C-alpha cells in the first residue's frame, strides 16, 4: 500500500519528508509483530500511527485498545494492565481481567509509556520477553499474545540516565522507532491542515469556510505551534466561528487569537524528541533558566558599575568627596555623585566594591520546581489539570510532585 493511499485512508494531511518517512516505516513494520516505539511532541498525532500499524497488519480483525498510562493512578495501573484477583486489595470485590488478557491476540497501544512506575515497568518487560504475566494478588502465570505499540513525548534515554525508566525495557520497546515531526518542522503542511480543519468545521456547522489572506497565512507559518496539530485545530475552529469576514487578514487573526503572536519564551526550539536525539528534561530546562537569569543579573550589576565609573572618571557627572568623619579611619571617603535632582547619591568606593563578596542565590532545582508548581496551582485555583497543562507535564506527574513536596491544596 503506497503512502498516498495510507494518507487518504487515515485522514493524514501533509507532504513533509519527515512525515512521509514515518508513514513509510509504519507501513513496513505493520506486517510484523515487532514492538514499536513512537516518539514526538504532544499533539503530533502519535495515536493515528498506532492505528496505521494495527489496521495494516495481520491482527487487524482482532481487538485494539489505547491506554493512556499518564491518566491511570499509580496504585491501580498494574490492575488495569494485568488484572487482579478478588480480595487482592481494598475494593477488589471480584476478579477482573486486565488489558493484556482481554486483548489477547490483538494490539495494545500504551501512550505516555514514560509515565509508568518502575514496578509496572518490570512487569511489562516480562510480558515482552516471555509473553507471561501474573494478575495482582495471584500466583498463576498467564500467557498472552499481544502486539505492543508504545508512545512517549519525553526522551526515554534521558529518563534512563535519570533512573526513571528501565534501560532493558527501553531497548525492548524501541525495536522499531518511529519519530513524528512537530508541526513547526512541516512547513506548508501547516496551511494545508488549517484549510482542512476550516472546511470540516464549516461542513459540520453548515457555514461558509473561511480563508486566510497572504499576511495571515505567513503569520501561521511562522508561529511555532507548541500544541502542534491539536492547537492548530482549535485555532482553525475559533477563526471559523469568530471571523467577521470570510477572508481573514493577519490583524483580524491576531484579534481573534492573541497567542498567535506570542513567541512563548523561553523556548528550546532545537530540542528533539527522537530516541537517540538531543533533548532536555524538565529539570535541565529549569536549571538552564535559573542559570541564565543569574548570569544576566551579574552582567547588569557589572554594567551599572562600569557606566558609573566611566561617568565619574570622564567628568560627565560632577563629583566631590565629603570631609572625613571623625570616626572614619579609612583613607578613602565615600564617593558622592550629583543626581539630576541635585540630590547626592552615596556610592561605595571602588575598593569596597572590588572586595565585596558575591552572594550566590539558591540553585536548588527542587526548591524552584516546588515554587513553580505552587504558583501554577494558585494561578489555576488548585485545578490540577489546568496547572499540569500550564507546566507542560501530565496530571499524574503533577499529582506525584504535590505529594513529594508536601504541597497543601
Tell me, yes or no, whether 350 and 374 share the same domain.
Answer: no
What the block records as the C-alpha cell of 105 is 491476540
For β-strands 319-321 and 335-337, DSSP reports them as antiparallel
For position 389, what pLDDT does the model report? 85
Mean pLDDT of all residues in 305-329: 54
Residue 324, pLDDT > 70, answer: no
Burial (CB count within 10 angstroms: exposed 0-12, middle 13-18, buried 19+), residue 150: buried
Residue 213, pLDDT > 60, answer: yes
Mean pLDDT of all residues in 29-53: 94
Distance between CA atoms of residues 347 and 203, nearest Å: 71
Mean pLDDT of all residues in 30-46: 94
For position 294, what pLDDT does the model report? 72
Tell me, yes or no, whether 14 and 152 share the same domain.
Answer: yes
Tell me, yes or no, whether 45 and 104 share the same domain.
Answer: yes
pLDDT band at 282; cut points 50, 70, 90: low
Distance between CA atoms of residues 28 and 1, nearest Å: 10
Residue 296, pLDDT > 80, answer: no
Distance between CA atoms of residues 232 and 201, nearest Å: 13
Residue with grid cell 535559573, as numbered in its chain? 290
For position 216, what pLDDT does the model report? 93
Residue with grid cell 503530533, as numbered in its chain? 44
Residue 1, pLDDT > 90, answer: no
Tell me, yes or no, whether 143 and 91 share the same domain.
Answer: yes
Other C-beta atoms lying within 10 Å of the C-beta of residue 342: 6
Is residue 383 domain-resident? Answer: yes
Count helices and strands in the chain by DSSP H and E runs: 17, 12
For position 182, what pLDDT does the model report? 95
pLDDT band at 31; cut points 50, 70, 90: very high
Distance between CA atoms of residues 234 and 198, nearest Å: 10
Residue with grid cell 461542513, as numbered in its chain? 203
For position 327, what pLDDT does the model report? 46
Decide: 232 and 190 in contact? Cβ < 8 Å: yes
Is residue 61 domain-resident? Answer: yes
Is residue 266 domain-resident? Answer: no
Is residue 273 domain-resident? Answer: no
For position 102, what pLDDT does the model report? 92
Decide: 296 and 311 in contact? Cβ < 8 Å: no
For β-strands 211-212 and 147-152, DSSP reports them as unpaired
Tell me, yes or no, whether 133 and 211 share the same domain.
Answer: no
For position 321, what pLDDT does the model report? 45
For position 409, what pLDDT does the model report? 75
Residue 365, pLDDT > 80, answer: no
Give the CATH number for residue 387.
1.10.10
Distance between CA atoms of residues 78 and 72, nearest Å: 10
For residue 297, how many C-alpha atoms fall within 13 Å in the half-sphere facing its CB?
10
Tell me, yes or no, whether 163 and 110 share the same domain.
Answer: yes
Tell me, yes or no, whether 25 and 137 share the same domain.
Answer: yes
Tell me, yes or no, whether 234 and 376 share the same domain.
Answer: no
> Above pLDDT 90, what percent of the chain?
55
Q: What is the mean pLDDT of the chain?
A: 82
> Domain tally for the chain?
5
Q: What are phi and psi of 85, to 5 degrees?
A: -95, 160
Domain span including residue 137: 3-181
Distance between CA atoms of residues 157 and 164, nearest Å: 10
**What CA–CA distances, in Å, run from 9 to 2, 72, 115, 286?**
11, 31, 31, 42
Pick from 113-117, 172-176, 235-239, 259-263: least confident: 259-263
> Above pLDDT 70, what percent of the chain?
79
Amino acid at each position: 500500500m503506497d503512502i498516498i493511499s495510507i494518507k487518504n485512508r487515515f485522514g493524514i494531511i501533509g507532504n513533509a519528508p519527515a512525515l512521509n518517512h514515518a508513514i513509510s516505516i509504519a507501513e513496513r513494520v505493520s506486517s510484523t509483530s515487532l514492538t514499536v516505539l513512537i516518539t514526538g511532541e504532544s499533539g503530533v498525532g502519535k495515536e493515528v500511527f498506532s492505528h496505521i500499524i494495527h489496521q495494516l497488519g495481520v491482527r487487524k480483525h482482532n481487538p485494539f485498545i489505547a491506554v493512556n498510562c499518564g491518566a491511570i493512578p499509580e496504585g491501580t495501573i498494574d490492575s488495569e494492565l494485568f488484572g487482579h484477583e478478588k480480595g487482592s486489595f481494598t475494593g477488589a470485590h471480584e476478579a477482573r481481567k486486565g488489558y493484556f488478557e482481554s486483548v489477547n491476540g490483538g494490539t495494545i497501544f500504551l501512550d505516555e509509556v514514560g509515565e509508568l512506575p518502575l514496578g509496572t515497568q518490570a512487569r511489562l518487560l516480562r510480558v515482552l520477553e516471555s509473553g507471561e504475566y501474573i494478575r495482582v494478588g495471584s500466583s498463576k502465570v498467564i500467557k498472552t499474545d499481544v502486539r505492543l505499540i508504545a508512545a512517549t513525548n519525553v526522551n526515554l534515554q534521558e529518563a534512563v540516565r535519570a533512573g526513571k525508566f528501565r534501560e532493558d525495557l527501553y531497548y525492548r520497546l524501541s525495536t522499531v522507532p518511529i519519530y513524528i515531526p512537530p508541526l513547526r518542522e512541516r512547513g506548508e503542511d501547516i496551511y494545508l491542515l488549517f484549510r482542512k480543519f476550516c472546511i470540516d468545521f464549516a461542513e459540520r456547522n453548515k457555514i461558509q469556510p473561511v480563508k486566510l489572506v497572504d499576511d495571515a497565512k505567513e503569520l501561521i507559518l511562522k508561529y511555532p505551534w507548541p500544541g502542534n496539530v491539536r492547537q492548530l485545530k482549535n485555532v482553525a475552529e475559533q477563526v471559523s466561528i469568530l471571523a467577521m469576514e470570510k477572508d481573514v487578514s493577519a490583524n483580524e487573526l491576531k484579534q481573534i487569537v492573541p497567542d498567535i503572536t506570542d513567541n512563548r519564551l523561553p523556548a528550546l526550539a532545537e530540542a528533539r524528541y527522537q530516541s537517540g536525539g538531543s533533548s532536555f528534561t524538565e529539570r535541565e530546562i529549569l536549571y538552564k533558566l535559573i542559570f541564565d537569569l543569574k548570569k544576566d543579573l551579574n552582567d547588569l550589576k557589572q554594567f551599572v558599575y562600569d557606566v558609573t565609573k566611566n561617568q565619574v572618571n570622564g567628568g560627565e557627572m560632577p563629583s566631590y568627596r565629603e570631609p572625613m568623619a571623625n570616626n572614619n579611619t579609612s583613607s578613602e571617603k565615600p564617593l558622592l555623585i550629583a543626581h539630576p535632582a541635585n540630590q547626592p547619591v552615596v556610592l561605595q568606593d571602588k575598593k569596597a566594591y572590588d572586595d565585596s563578596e558575591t552572594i550566590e542565590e539558591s540553585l536548588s532545582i527542587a526548591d524552584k520546581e516546588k515554587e513553580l508548581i505552587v504558583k501554577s496551582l494558585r494561578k489555576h485555583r488548585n485545578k490540577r489539570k489546568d496547572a499540569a497543562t500550564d507546566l507542560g507535564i501530565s496530571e499524574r506527574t503533577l499529582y506525584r510532585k504535590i505529594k513529594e513536596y508536601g504541597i497543601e491544596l
